[in-house]
Amino acid sequence: MMVQDPVCLMQFSPREAKTTAEYEGKLYYFCSPSCRNTFLSQPASLISK
């Protein structure tokens, strides 16, 4: 199974994620702390509902 970083759109295995964050009950995976920080500053604009 592959996941996609919602900020940079990079795809990778969940075990390769550098960090994660939960938003509205869903777990998101990130390739870097920088992408996670960007996501946390504006999560609604980075995900499609």
Question: pLDDT at position 7, please?
Answer: 97
Has residue 47 been placed in a domain?
Answer: no
Question: pLDDT at position 43, please?
Answer: 96
The CA-CA-CA angle for residues 42, 44, 49, to 5°, reads 160
Question: pLDDT at position 46, please?
Answer: 93
- Domain count for the chain, please give it: 1
Q: 23 lies in which domain range?
A: 3-42
The answer to whether the beta carbons of residues 37 and 46 sit under 8 Å apart is: no
User: Which positions ≥6 away from 16 have C-beta within 8 Å?
Assistant: 31
Has residue 48 been placed in a domain?
Answer: no
Has residue 12 been placed in a domain?
Answer: yes
Has residue 15 been placed in a domain?
Answer: yes
Low-confidence stretches of the chain (pLDDT < 50) are: 49
Question: pLDDT at position 33, please?
Answer: 98
Has residue 10 been placed in a domain?
Answer: yes
Q: Which residues of 27-36 are buried (b: 16+ CB within 10 A; e: fewer)?
A: ebbbbeeebb
Q: Where are the alpha helices (DSSP H) in 1-49?
A: 33-41, 43-46
